[in-house]
Amino acid sequence: MFRFQSLNEDCMLEEEDDGLIEDEDEIDQFNDDTFGAGAIDDDWQEEHKRLAELDERDELGAGLGFGGGGMGGDSDLSTSERPSSTRIPSSVVHPPPPSSLASLSFSSSSSRLPPSDVEDRVGEGDLAESLARLILDADPAIAGVGAAERPGLPPGSSGSGLSALRGLDQPRVLPQPSPILPPTQPHQHPQHQLPPGLPASGLPPSSMLSYQQQQHLLRRGTAPMGQMSSHSIWENSMGFGPVSVTPGLLTHMEDNPLMSIIKEVGHPKRAPQGRNDEDLSERAPPPRSSSPVIGSPPVRAVPIGTPPKQPMSHALNHQNSPLCRGPFPPRVGPVLSQIQRAQLLNSQVAGFPRGGPPPLLPGGGGFRPFFGGPPPPHGHRMGPPPPHGPPNHAPPLRHNTTHLHPQHRRMLTQRMQSRGGDRRPGMDRRSRDPYSNLMTQKEKEWVTKIQMMQLQSTDPYLDDYYYQNYYEKMEKRQEKEQDSSKKEHTTKLITPQVAKVEHTYRPVQFAGSLGKLTVSSVNNPRKMIDAVVTTRSDDEEKREKQVWNKRRQILYTVEKMYSLLLEVQDFEKCFVQAPEEDREALLEQHKSNTEQLCSSLREKEWDDRVSDEQCVMIMSVRKGKRLISRLLPFLPSMQAAAVVMAIARNLPALAKKDKQDQVLCWLVEPVSAVIQSLSSASLTDLLQELQGSEGQLATVLHNKFGVTLLYVILSEGERMQSSDPNCQLMDDNRWTELVFSVTRELLSVPSSSLSPPLFTPPNLLSLFSRYVDRQRLELLQDKLQISALSR
Amino acid sequence: MDKVCCCLEVDTHVIVTGVMSLYAHKKQQQHKMNYVPGTASLIDDIDKKHLVLLRDGRTLIGYLRSIDQFANLVFHQTVERIHVGKKFGDIPRGIFIVRGENVVLLGEIDMDKPCDTVLQQVSIEEILEEQRLQQQAKQETEKVKMQVLKDRGLSIPKADNLDEY
Q: Provide the 10 A C-beta neighbour count for residue A386.
A: 19
By C-alpha distance, which of A176, A184, A180, A48 is closest to A103?
A: A184
B33, B49, B72: best to mutate for the A interface, most A CBs within 10 A? B33
The answer for B19, left when phi > 0, alpha when psi is -120 to 50, beta otherwise, is beta
Nearest by CB: B39 against A305, A341, A455: A455
Question: Best mutation site among A392, A447, A467 for testing chain B: the one with the most B CBs within 10 Å?
Answer: A447
Q: What are phi and psi of B48, to 5 degrees?
A: -115, 160
Q: Are A78 and A11 in contact (CB under 8 A)?
A: no
Contacts of A138 (CB under 8 A, 6+ apart): A195, A272, A273, A274
Tell whether B4 is within 8 A of chain A (Cβ).
yes
Q: What pLDDT does A102 receive?
A: 43
CA distance A778 to A577: 57
Integer CA distances (angstroms), B47 to A431, B74, B141, in order: 10, 10, 43
Mean pLDDT of all residues in chain B?
78
- In the Cβ-directed half-sphere of A326, how many Cα atoms lie within 13 Å? 26
B 64-103 → A contacts, CB under 8 A: 65-69, 76
Q: In Å, what is the CA distance from A465 to each residue of A468, A471, A499, B134?
A: 5, 10, 19, 48
Q: Could you tell me the mean pLDDT of each successive run of 10 residues in chain A, 791 residues long? A: 49 48 61 59 75 69 44 43 45 45 44 45 60 62 46 43 43 43 43 43 46 50 44 42 44 47 49 46 50 59 65 44 43 45 46 39 38 38 39 40 65 72 58 82 88 76 81 86 61 52 60 67 71 70 71 87 85 74 80 80 66 83 88 85 86 83 82 85 83 79 84 85 75 80 82 79 80 81 63 37
Position B144 scores a pLDDT of 93
pLDDT in the model for residue B26: 36
Q: What are the CA-CA distances from residue A779 to residues A173, A380, A744, A770 (Å)?
A: 99, 70, 11, 15
| Residue A663: exposure state from Cβ atoms within 10 A (0-12, 13-18, ≥19) | middle
Q: Count of CB atoms within 10 A of residue B10's CB?
A: 19
**CA A82 to chain CA centroid, nearest Å:** 58
Beta-carbon count within 10 A of A286 CB: 7
**What is the reported pLDDT for B122?**
92
DSSP secondary structure code for residue A91 in this structure: G
pLDDT score of B141 more than 70: yes
Q: How many residues does chain B have?
A: 165
Of B22, B47, B112, the CB nearest to A433: B47
Interacting residues of A126 by C-beta distance below 8 A, sequence separation 6+: A52, A55, A66, A70, A82, A85, A86, A87, A88
Q: Which residues make Cβ contacts (< 8 Å) with residue A682, sequence separation at least 6?
A: A641
ipTM of the complex in this document? 0.71
Q: Would residue A785 be called left, alpha or beta, if left means φ above 0 and alpha means ψ between -120 and 50 degrees?
A: left
CA–centroid distance for A294 within its chain: 18
Partners of A448 on chain B (C-beta within 8 Å) are 35-36, 41, 43
Judged by CB atoms within 8 Å, which residues 28-47 of B form the interface with A?
Answer: 28-39, 41, 43, 46-47
Nearest residue, CB atoms, A400 vs list B17, B29, B36: B36
Residue A306 host element (H or E): none
Distances (CA, A) of A528 to A220, A297, A489: 35, 20, 56
**By mean pLDDT, which of A206-210, B16-20, B47-51, B110-114 is the weakest?**
B16-20
Interface residue of A264, A314, A439, A440 to substitute, partner B, most B CBs within 10 Å: A439
Determine, for residues A429 and B31 on separate chains, whether the beta-carbon distance falls below 8 Å: no
Of residues A89, A259, A91, the one with CA closest to residue A165 = A259
Q: What are phi and psi of A413, to 5 degrees?
A: -65, -40
Measured CA distances, B13 to A237, A289, A290 (Å)? 11, 19, 21
The pLDDT value given to residue A637? 84
The model's confidence at residue B67, banded by pLDDT at 50, 70 and 90, is: very high
Contacts of A355 (CB under 8 A, 6+ apart): A344, A347, A348, B15, B16, B17, B18
How do B73-84 and B49-54 pair as beta strands? Answer: unpaired
- Phi, psi (degrees; rounded to nearest 5) at B62: -170, 175
Task: Give the DSSP letter string of A274-286.
Answer: HHHHHHHHHHPPP
Cβ-proximal residues to A746 (8 Å cutoff; 6+ apart), any chain? A701, A754, A780, A783, A784
Q: Count the helix, strand and coil residues of chain A and give each as a percent rounded to the nearest 5.
A: 60, 0, 40
Element (H, E) at A547: helix A539-577
Three-class SS state of A100: helix
The three-class DSSP label of residue A268 is strand
Interface check B12 vs A, CB under 8 A: no
Each residue of B144-159: pLDDT tens digit? 999 999 999 987 776 6
Chain-centre distance for alpha carbon A104: 47
Q: Is the CB of residue A327 less than 8 Å from the CB of residue A99?
A: no
Cross-strand partners of B20: B4
Are the C-beta atoms of A241 and A195 separated by less than 8 Å? no
Report the distance separating Cα B106 and Cα A717, nearest Å: 60
Determine phi and psi for A504, rounding to 5 degrees. Answer: -105, 140
Closest CA to A688 of A653, A648, A647: A648
CA A184, CA A197: separation in Å to the nearest integer?
15
Q: Residue B65's pLDDT is what?
A: 94
Nearest to B9 by CA among A233, A136, A334, A191: A334
Contact A311 B8 (CB under 8 A): no
Closest to B66 (Cα-Cα) out of A347, A447, A397, A432: A447
As to burial, measured by CB atoms within 10 angstroms (0-12 exposed, 13-18 middle, 19+ buried), residue B107 is exposed
Q: What is the 3-state secondary structure (H, E, C) of chain B?
A: CCEECCEEEECCEEEECCCEECCHHHHHHHCCCCCCCCCCCCHHHCCCEEEEEECCCCEEEEEEEEECCCCCEEEEEEEEEEEECCEEEEEEEEEEEECHHHEEEEEECCCCCCCCCCCEECCHHHHHHHHHHHHHHHHHHHHHHHHHHHHCCCCCCCCCCHHHC
Domains of chain B are: 3-35 (no CATH), 42-124 (2.30.30.100)
d(CA A24, CA A436): 55
Size of interface A-B (CB pairs under 8 A): 127
The secondary element (H helix, E strand) that includes residue A128 is: helix A118-138
